Amino acid sequence: MSRIKDLQKNLFGGTTSNARQFGMIFTLVAIVVLFQILTDGLTLRSDNLIALFQQNSYILILAIGMLMVIVAGHIDLSVGSVAAFAGILVAKSMADWSLPWPVAILFGLAIGAIIGAWQGFWVAYIGVPAFIVTLAGMLLFRGGNQYIGNANTIPVPEGFREIGSGFLPEFGPNTGYNNATLLLGLAAAVAVVWREIQARKTRRAMDADPAPMWISILRMAIMVGVIAFAALRFASGRVGTSFPISGIILLVLVIAYSFYTRNTAGGRHIYAVGGNSRAAELSGVKLKRVNFFVMMNMSVLAALAGMIFVARSAASGPQDGNGWELDAIAAVFIGGAAVSGGIGTISGSIVGGLVMAVLNNGLQLMGVGTDRVQIIKGLVLLLAVAIDVYNKSQGRFSIIGSLMRPFRRDDSAPPASPPDAEREPAKAAVSG
């Protein structure tokens, strides 16, 4: 029993709120294995994995921003429209003013920042609920997209397409793999091991109990195994394809934002505001600034997602961004965020997004039509959140958590409250 307890407590981060995240990772693995069998091995084939990342990177990028918005207790319905609006402006800027594409990307991010400042202003300083502000934004920027583009499809130049459909370059000796992807995998593996050693050192220096040795090793072995597997898969695609550029952008963002939300004061303030905004304000959190920041940040990420989609589609069209907000919100909630705010992690949202992505992809590979795919995705979203809500109302967090109840009696603090999470920094972002 104590070994199981150790495993549960330590394998993927410490607190009980992580039990749910653990459950989601488990679900993801189960879905991948299920489809791997059902599609005769197509799911984990390198070309499919590459396509899966390319197709979903923009939704996952949105999920990062959406997680922060939802944790702060808001919602953003405008992301699809903002993405489309930024996309058409960027496409136009390159077609009509012949901006070089790197400048156009900066221009797109600036548009995102301006739109975000607009929405953040209404939410934070005027106090209009984010639901209303972004509902208005959804109409406003969708209309803007149609107005500017005349509802036409506008192609973008080759260089720009790289951010959506490009791959790591080929170089070096012919190893039968893409060398750049192998190096990336190696770097990731080294980082995981180094992090684990650092974490143990820190805990020892703080006189805390480090996780049992065998757990550390097991965790590292699993992570390195997954990384090695993924790196080899991504490196062995058709010549010319490898780990997608959009995947790199996603990875960088996941790592940066995970660090920000977990390890910095600014990031913890978002949780504090979402948990109890009055209390947070009284303890010195600048409420308005936090709200302004999360809304603005969301629009910048939406602009980025829009540009990546345009790059991948080789053109900006009038239907870009339709329904994206729903995919992003679904990813965040499946990933364990609370509807009332204050709870949720970046890595959880990414896992939630991947669950939806793999489900979508697997069903498509099986030739299930979009009508049924939508039905299934809807049910999965409802079930995932329902199980969570039900378990909470029963005073336990998950089936695994319920097994642990006898050992939790001394946990007097509410399990997932921000200060608790801060005291005990979670140790591993599993999917980041």
Q: Kindly tell me which residue out of 126, 205, 206, 213 binds another protein, with binding defined by CB under 8 A.
A: 213
Q: Kindly tell me which residue out of 114, 183, 222, 403 binds another protein, with binding defined by CB under 8 A.
A: 222
How many residues touch another protein under the rule CB under 8 A: the total is: 66
**C-alpha closest to that of 143 among 78, 60, 85, 216:** 85
Which window, 15-23, 105-113, 115-123, 213-221, contacts another protein (CB under 8 A)?
213-221
Per DSSP, the three-state class of 183 is helix
Q: Kindly tell me which residue out of 97, 131, 194, 229 binds another protein, with binding defined by CB under 8 A.
A: 229
Whichever of 13 and 237 has its CB closer to another protein, that residue is 237
With 0-12 / 13-18 / 19 or more C-beta atoms within 10 angstroms meaning exposed / middle / buried, residue 198 is exposed
**211: its two tokens:** 């996780």
Q: How many CA atoms lie within 13 A of 91 on its CB side?
A: 31
240 binds another protein (CB under 8 A): yes
Whichever of 164 and 401 has its CB closer to another protein, that residue is 164
36 binds another protein (CB under 8 A): no
403 binds another protein (CB under 8 A): no
**C-alpha closest to that of 384 among 368, 373, 398, 370:** 398
296 binds another protein (CB under 8 A): no
Is residue 304 within 8 A of residue 298, CB to CB? The reply is no
Task: Give the C-alpha separation, 183 to 209, whole Å.
Answer: 34
For 257-308, the DSSP string reads HHHHHHHSHHHHHHHHHHH-HHHHHHTT--HHHHHHHHHHHHHHHHHHHHHH
175 binds another protein (CB under 8 A): yes
Task: Give the C-alpha separation, 388 to 367, whole Å.
Answer: 31
224 binds another protein (CB under 8 A): yes
With 0-12 / 13-18 / 19 or more C-beta atoms within 10 angstroms meaning exposed / middle / buried, residue 145 is buried
R_g of the chain computed on alpha carbons: 22
Whichever of 156 and 273 has its CB closer to another protein, that residue is 156
Interaction with another protein in 81-140: which residues (CB under 8 A)? none
| Region of residue 393 (left: phi > 0; alpha: psi -120 to 50; beta: else) | alpha
Q: Kindly tell me which residue out of 13, 14, 164, 275 binds another protein, with binding defined by CB under 8 A.
A: 164
Q: Which residue has the tokens 């459950």?
A: 23
38 binds another protein (CB under 8 A): no
Q: Kindly tell me which residue out of 4, 132, 139, 151 binds another protein, with binding defined by CB under 8 A.
A: 151
H/E run at residue 316: strand 315-316
Whichever of 318 and 415 has its CB closer to another protein, that residue is 318
Interaction with another protein in 332-371: which residues (CB under 8 A)? 360-361, 364-365, 367, 369-371
Which window, 25-33, 221-229, 247-255, 300-308, contacts another protein (CB under 8 A)?
221-229
212 binds another protein (CB under 8 A): no
325 binds another protein (CB under 8 A): no
Minimum distance of another protein from residue 346's CB (angstroms): 23
Interface with another protein by CB under 8 A: which residues?
42, 45, 47-48, 51, 55, 146, 150-155, 161, 164-165, 175-177, 189, 193, 196-197, 200, 213, 216-218, 220-222, 224-226, 228-229, 232-233, 236-240, 309, 312-315, 317-320, 322-324, 327, 360-361, 364-365, 367, 369-371, 373-374
